[in-house]
Amino acid sequence: MTAPLAAPLRVAVLGGTGFIGRVLCARLVEQGHEVLSLARSVPADPPAGRFTSVDLSTTAPVELARLLDEERIDAVVNAAGGMWGLTDEQMYEANVVLVGRLVEAVAAMTAPARLVHLGTVHEYGMAPIGTSQRESDAPAPVMEYGKLKLAATESVTRAVEAGLVRGVTLRLGNVVGAGQPGHSLLGVMAAKLDGARLAGEPARLDLQPLTAQRDFVDLTDTVDAVLAAIATPTTAPVINVGTGSATAARVLVDLLIEVSGVPVEVTEVPAPAGSGPETEWQQMDTALAAEQLGWTPGRSLRQAVDSLWQARIASATS
């Protein structure tokens, strides 16, 4: 865990109602900071701090700058964005238009806040097995989400390099932890296991080989990196946040089954025809995060999965 930020700050969190943003807001408030969470819809369960409803994809940059000035914001964290269940046009609005407006707004502030933008490993695309992806590597995203997130990161980088804003993009691995989105692989598996637990019967899971290897990272560690980025001046415009190791998705699923304690009946389903053996993976080099942020991951994937499961069963009984 990172040390608390040295002095109380006023931090605006875009997407404070989301998976990462909600935990970040709670941690900031615990450390004594003023937090303003910004999102389009008023949540039934507001995040820690104060909440203001703002449609970030349509609010004019000058209006957003005025709000940030009035709130005397010291740092802005962009944990907003969208992928699942959205059309390409909606993803463009949520990831590219929003960030462009945000960069313009921060640059227009009387005293521009520090900007921490949360990017994704999917901006890199894939790499040959055995290699690590470094911030200096040329990105080659293969999915639309990665392409749009890369465009957003490039918008932030241009503003930082031009001296218009002070900030950094944290390129996050595949984050795992409490509150895991239900549409993710682990979110789906947790729901099936919890349903079986509540019914008092074994969970029946149809599993493909799940040999894809990705850089998974714990949610608590991820938030630690964001806190470090808020507090620490950086010279690099982009910094990787991951474990620095690739892990097969099936390992995560098996860990989830183990920590749940739910009996399972697994049916092994063959991989789709023509898929063949894996020749590419995602594994990030995290040396720059240690150098510039003083951050290294400290929690195991088992701890990450256990946090996911404990939060899942707690929500089922609340």
Taking the C-alpha atoms of residue 262 and residue 200, their distance in angstroms, rounded to an integer, is 9
SS3 for 61-73 is HHHHHHHHHHCCC
Which DSSP letter does residue 137 get? S
CA dihedral 76, 149, 179, 214 (to 10 degrees): -130
Chain centroid offset of residue 106 CA: 21
Give me the residues paired with residue 113 across strands: none
Choose the catalytic residue: 51, 92, 124, 145. 145
Helices 301-317, 185-199: axis angle to 10 degrees equals 50
Taking the C-alpha atoms of residue 225 and residue 156, their distance in angstroms, rounded to an integer, is 18
Report which residue type is found at 221. D
Annotated active-site residue 145? The verdict is: yes
The region that residue 214 occupies, defined by phi over 0 for left and psi between -120 and 50 for alpha, beta otherwise, is: beta
Q: What is the largest CA-CA distance in the chain?
A: 60
Residues classed as catalytic:
145
